Chains A and B, each alone.
Chain A
Amino acid sequence: MTARTKLTMASVTCVGLAILASACTRTAEAPSAATLSATIPQRTKEQNIELGRQQKTAADLYRALKDEAKGGKRLEWNVMPDWRGVYSRPANAGFAFDPDQAPGAPPTAKLTPEFQEKLTKRIAEVKRGIEWDPISTCAPPGHPRWLTEPFTREFIVTPDQTWLINEMVNDIRRIYTDGRDHVPEEDRIPLENGDSIGFWDGPKLVIHTNQLRSGIYQRSHPDYTERVETVEIWQKADDKTVTADVWVYDPPALAEPWYVKQSYVKLSDPDKSLRIRYWNCGENQNNSVFQTQDGTTQFRDFSFTDKDNQGGKQK
């Protein structure tokens, strides 16, 4: 090996290490959102409710917001919103889809008569001790119910996709921000988390979700149909809080769009002990429940009792 070759190799090594060191430094630093500014204005709750009413469909609202943001702007790796951390929904929101729902009061949605009647019946049954939650078998909650589940969450932002993760059933919503459109209408099949596309307006992520399955917003809450669609505006409200303005459109069930504001608070984890653990619903037979003939919830046999003791008959 000549001296020149050795020198070249040493230079390449140094340059390589310098690039690696630079990359490592960048990884360790907090991403900067200082230069991100939004065009879509901050609106009050009343203004957001009115904004929803002004648009006939979720797609119309999404287009209006995109126009307001002048089409939005793609994120760049060197200027990113910092949504790092493990978050959870504040406990005071309980399970209510609308965190502003007063304790003991019914959900705030304005329902069509048919869906109001269904809700009234559901609430009456719960008062009689009859309740079955469709996710009891570990079926995914699906969106928009996804917004309300109380477990830990992570929000992973990249220029082309954002992943909104909930610990519950290892649930991930993928938001495509690479400019793609929704799945063509003729190929749409209802999915638990639907199909989500979005754009960035500075630090705000605007999302349109369609192609959803029917479900319930939460226990003691209304049903939604397969025509449900949502528009969301996600942003960091302060150092510890990520918020989402949410408009739900579902003409068969909702008399008008349902606007709610969700919050997710970063959990303190100074010793970095928090772990999101994989959900395998089949790992413990004591968690197996079924719907009884009278429509309520019951455990199957327990592992810690010595005989077949399943309570009640299955529906």
Chain B
Amino acid sequence: MTRAFRNALLGLGAVVIAAMPTFAHHSGAMFEEKKTITVEGVVKEFQWTNPHSWLLVDVTGKDGKVTTWGFEAEGPTTLQRAGIRPSELRAGTKLTITGRPMKDGRPAATWEYAVRADGKKFNPREGFAVK
């Protein structure tokens, strides 16, 4: 993978997302239903907030321009139940992240799953599992 937007474009594909609605607080109608996008980048900020957390990721394009993408997940308690802690995704952390992009083209997406450079996976929706 290059550091460019390559994955953002290559990763855009028809992928069926699981039946459980992604967000409990608002509809996900602004996101693509079946397409996903995958980008490689560096964490700029982890906004650990209710009702939704946002992982901001800086992605460098082929032309060297940096675009900040926002990936939306559920709030802190659900992330905690998924085993995701803010200390694991500090600013500067390198990762690859996949989500359903917005229909209007803005650089934002749902956070479906992320893989840190060391291989650790982060799937926010595991936070809804009752265990």
A residues contacting B by CB (< 8 A) are 88-91, 94-95, 103, 126, 129-133, 135-136, 138, 149-152, 167-168, 219, 265, 267-268, 273-281, 283-284, 286-287, 289, 296-299, 302, 304-305, 309, 311-312
Given contacts A219-B21, A289-B26, A296-B27, 4 further A-B contacts (CB under 8 A): A129-B33, A274-B77, A297-B26, A297-B27
Which 6 A-B pairs rank lowest in CB-CB distance, beginning with the nearest?
A: A136-B26, A131-B27, A284-B49, A311-B104, A131-B29, A279-B50
Complex: how many Å from CA A178 to CA B89? Answer: 49
Query: CB of B75 within 8 A of chain A?
Result: yes
- Nearest-CB distance from A300 to chain B (Å)? 11
Evaluate contact between B130 and A279: CB separation under 8 angstroms. no
Complex: how many Å from CA A304 to CA B45? Answer: 10
Interface residues contributed by chain B, number (CB under 8 Å): 39
Evaluate contact between B20 and A94: CB separation under 8 angstroms. yes
Question: Which residue of B24, B26, B44, B49 contacts A151 across the interface (Cβ within 8 Å)?
Answer: B24
Question: Cβ of B131: which chain A residues have Cβ within 8 Å of it?
Answer: 267-268
Evaluate contact between A276 and B27: CB separation under 8 angstroms. no
Q: Is the interface of A mostly helix, strand, loop or mixed?
A: loop
Evaluate contact between A152 and B24: CB separation under 8 angstroms. no
Evaluate contact between A277 and B70: CB separation under 8 angstroms. no
- Nearest-CB distance from B106 to chain A (Å)? 6
Complex: how many Å from CA A280 to CA B50? Answer: 6
Question: Cβ of A133: which chain B residues have Cβ within 8 Å of it?
Answer: 25-27
Evaluate contact between B108 and A299: CB separation under 8 angstroms. yes
Which of B6-14, B51-59, B91-99 makes up part of the contact surface? B51-59
B residues contacting A by CB (< 8 A) are 19-21, 24-27, 29-30, 33, 44-45, 47, 49-52, 54, 56, 68-70, 72, 75-78, 80-81, 102-104, 106-108, 128-131
Question: Cβ of A287: which chain B residues have Cβ within 8 Å of it?
Answer: 25, 49, 51-52, 54
Beyond A91-B20, A91-B128, is A277–B104 a contact (Cβ under 8 Å)?
no
Question: Cβ of B75: which chain A residues have Cβ within 8 Å of it?
Answer: 151, 277, 279
- Nearest-CB distance from B99 to chain A (Å)? 14
- Nearest-CB distance from A102 to chain B (Å)? 11
Beyond A88-B130, A268-B131, is A298–B54 a contact (Cβ under 8 Å)?
no
Evaluate contact between A284 and B47: CB separation under 8 angstroms. yes
Question: Which residue of A136, A150, A304 contacts B56 across the interface (Cβ within 8 Å)?
Answer: A304
* Number of cross-chain contacts by CB at 8 Å: 125
A-B contact pairs, 14 of them (CB 8 A): A88-B130, A89-B130, A131-B27, A131-B29, A150-B128, A151-B24, A152-B77, A168-B51, A279-B75, A284-B54, A287-B25, A289-B30, A302-B70, A304-B54
Which residue on chain B has the smallest CB distance to residue A295? Answer: B29
Question: Cβ of B47: which chain A residues have Cβ within 8 Å of it?
Answer: 284, 286
Evaluate contact between B106 and A149: CB separation under 8 angstroms. no
- Nearest-CB distance from A20 to chain B (Å)? 34
Question: Cβ of B129: which chain A residues have Cβ within 8 Å of it?
Answer: 91
Evaluate contact between A94 and B19: CB separation under 8 angstroms. yes
Question: Cβ of B27: which chain A residues have Cβ within 8 Å of it?
Answer: 131-133, 136, 219, 296-297
Which residue on chain B has the smallest CB distance to residue A312? Answer: B104
Question: Cβ of A130: which chain B residues have Cβ within 8 Å of it?
Answer: 29
Evaluate contact between B25 and A138: CB separation under 8 angstroms. yes
Which residue on chain B has the smallest CB distance to residue A95? Answer: B21
